[in-house]
Amino acid sequence: MSRNEHRAHPPAIRPHHDTNGLIMSSSHVGASPDATPSDTAPAPDASMSRLPRRGHVSPLVKPTASLVIPVRNEARNIAWVLGQIPEEITEIIIVDGASTDVTILTARSVRPDIRVVQQEGVGKGSALRTGFLAAEGDLIVMMDADGSMAPQEIPHYLHFLNNGYDFVKGSRFVAGGGSLDITRLRTLGNRFLLGVFNSLYDTHLTDLCYGFCAFHRRYLDHLKLSATGFEIEAEMVAAAMRAGLRIAEVPSMEMPRRSGKSNLRAVRDGTRVLQAVLDAHSSEKSGLLARVAHPRRRTAPPATSRALGPA
């Protein structure tokens, strides 16, 4: 997809749709979050005309947005992250996983207005679920505390939530995204897991194991999250697909962790992600064997079948 470059203004996000109602932005993350779909989208086709705009927010109504950040001994990283949170975020929730350093003290010195909640359970999944339940904003954004994700990208996630989409996920592998941190092993693992996911759900996602996401809080109960570890990221996407939410992918740049070591273990956590994807799909009426036995079922349903609730 072509992009119009202009020195005075960043390129506009130009989404394209598949028949599942998935939208994938193929421009650089610097696109203006103030642009509307009518300004940025290509000429509407049949599939686009069927997509409801039930989530569109009137310009007169500004939704509140909560940012959930799980932390555990991130004293050297959290100040950098909090210092760049955009003004669109109205609530910052720090979920503390029993930090033994000065993470919370540092966070409060940068943003005295943060809310600190104690993590219930063990693992990243438990931390995020704790934060989601504590969030009060209309929209919820989740990101890591290690500096690998740029807070400046948050407005692009909110842009799509405010213009008809229910769940927005970052992608390192769509045009405009990238990673300066991912290893070859993690790349191969993500590619395999993504292939399994796309096969099971007849979709065309470009990234699965990436924890920069945003969604409408009103759908939290529909996601029915239960994961305790890193697999929660894949569980959320699977749950969004199962619930019929309209999903958007936006380009995101993953940077190296600023300090410290990650708790991610590629083989162990990759196995848990695979199990989470398979478990989530087991509740679907048609499984992989049924798809093989009935190839016609692989034809994507009309876009309107992905909508949850009235149009």
Every domain of the chain and the residues it spans = 62-297
A 10 A CB-CB count for 42 gives 11
d(CA 96, CA 105): 12
> Residue 235 has what pLDDT?
93
| CATH code for the domain defined by 62-297 | 3.90.550.10
Most distant CA atoms of the chain, gap in Å: 60
250, β-bridge pairs:
170
Residue 94 contacts residue 107 (beta carbons within 8 Å): yes
Q: In angstroms, what is the C-alpha Rg of the chain?
A: 19
pLDDT of residue 237: 95
- Please give the Cα distance from 111 to 105 (Å, whole number): 10
CA angle 208, 213, 215 (to 5 degrees): 120
Between 160 and 53, the more confident residue is: 160
Q: Strand 115-118 vs strand 91-96: parallel, antiparallel, or unpaired?
A: parallel
- Asked if 177 and 253 count as a contact pair (C-beta separation under 8 A), the reply is yes
Minimal CA–CA distance to 125: which of 273, 288, 251? 273
- Position 159 pLDDT exceeds 60: yes
Give the model's confidence band at 265: pLDDT under 50 very low, under 70 low, under 90 confident, else very high: low
Question: What is the pLDDT at residue 292?
Answer: 47
Distance (Å, whole) CA 210 – CA 229: 13
Token pair for 127: 């931390």
Tokens of 48: 């686009």
pTM: 0.72
Task: Give residue 124's pLDDT.
Answer: 93
- What is the average per-residue pLDDT within 143-164? 96
User: What's the per-residue H, E or C state across 285-306?
Assistant: CCCHHHHHHCHHHHCCCCHHHH
- Quote the percentage of the chain above a pLDDT of 70: 68
Instruction: Give me 168's structure tokens.
Output: 């927005």
pLDDT band at 85 (very low <50, low <70, confident <90, very high): very high
Partners of 170 in beta bridges:
250
Average pLDDT for residues 213-240, to the nearest whole number? Answer: 94
Comparing 16-30, 68-82, 92-106, the range with the smallest average pLDDT is: 16-30
Beta carbons of 269 and 230 less than 8 angstroms apart: yes
Task: Give the pLDDT band of residue 264 (cuts 50, 70, 90).
Answer: low
Res 307 pLDDT > 70 = no
Of 50-54, 102-106, 203-207, 303-307, which range is least confident? 303-307
Pick from 145, 144, 147, 142: nearest CA to 129 = 142
Dist CA 53 CA 70 (whole Å):
32
Q: Are 158 and 141 in contact (CB under 8 A)?
A: yes
- How do residues 39-51 score in pLDDT, each as one tens digit? 333 333 333 333 3
Asked whether 307 and 246 are in contact (CB, 8 A), the reply is: yes
Distance CA 166, CA 280 (A): 19
